[in-house]
Amino acid sequence: MAKMSLEDLRKMREATQQQIKKRETDGKTAQIIVGMGTCGIAAGAKATLDAFVKELDEKGMGGEVVIRQTGCMGLCNNEPTVEVVVPGMPSIIYGGVNAAVAKGIVEKHLMKKELLNDRIIDRPAVDLLKK
């Protein structure tokens, strides 16, 4: 690497910022939680997870959203299942989330705050631990 000018430094900072922001946990506003039980993985949850990462990177939102994994949500017939938590909105579980739906979730739910109505699934049961 040759010596940098002011311009070069700024460019490098911008280019590297996206990746490093993903390592932070503070200041993130939304969470995407992908069900990665055996059922989810068999139904393609890994591809779904990759799709979210790719989509958020492309939209430059890598620093704002936490992508997390969890076990089976108990909705095995609707795998891959994904829960989306956005402040100010009820937390929503989506079923049958393939790469295309993942793209839709990022573009509509996260960016426009609109729900993807045809994919919403109810919680299977109330959370006993919270009662």
Partner 1 sequence: MAYTHYILVCGGTGCESSNADGIYNNLLAEAKAAGVTDKVQIVKTGCFGFCEKGPIVKVLPEDSFYVEVKPEDAKEIINEQIVKGREVTRLLYNKEKRSIEDVEEIEFYQKQLRIVLRNCGVINPESIEEYIARDGYLALERSLYELTPQQIIDEVKASGLRGRGGAGFPTGMKWEAGLKAQGDVKYVVCNADEGDPGAYMDRSTIEGDPHSVIEAMTICGKAIGAHLGFVYIRAEYPLAVDRLKIAMNQAREYGLLGKNILGSGFDFDIEIRLGAGAFVCGEETALLRSIEGKRGMPTPKPPFPAQSGLWGKPTIINNVETWANIPVILTKGPEWFTKIGTADSKGTKVFALTGKVKNSGLVEVPMGTTLREIVFEIGGGIKNGKKFKGVQTGGPSGGIITEEALDTPIDFGALTRLGSMMGSGGMIVMDEDDCVVDVSKFYMEFCVDESCGKCSPCRIGTRQIHAILDKISKGKGTMDDLEKMKEIGFAMQKSSLCALGQSAPNPTLSTIKKFEKEYIEHIVDHKCAAGKCKHLLQFIINDKCIGCGACARKCPATCISGEKKSKHVIDQTKCLKCGECFNTCKFGAIDKK
Residue numbers at the binding site for partner 1 (CB under 8 A): 1-6, 9-10, 12-13, 16-17, 19-25, 31, 33-34, 36, 41, 45-46, 49-50, 53-54, 57, 66-71, 83, 85, 91, 129
Q: Which is nearer to partner 1, 53 or 118 (CB)?
A: 53
Structure tokens at 32: 């995407």
Q: What's the closest the beta carbon of residue 30 comes to partner 1, in angstroms?
A: 12
Residue with tokens 């993903």: 22
Structure tokens at 15: 């280019």
Q: What's the closest the beta carbon of residue 68 comes to partner 1, in angstroms?
A: 5
From 61, 39, 42, select the one nearest 105 (Cα to Cα): 61
Q: What's the closest the beta carbon of residue 31 comes to partner 1, in angstroms?
A: 8
Alpha-carbon span 94 to 35, nearest angstrom: 10
Residue 119 in contact with residue 94, Cβ under 8 Å?
yes
Q: Which is nearer to partner 1, 66 or 117 (CB)?
A: 66
Alpha-carbon span 111 to 99, nearest angstrom: 17
Q: Which is nearer to partner 1, 33 or 101 (CB)?
A: 33
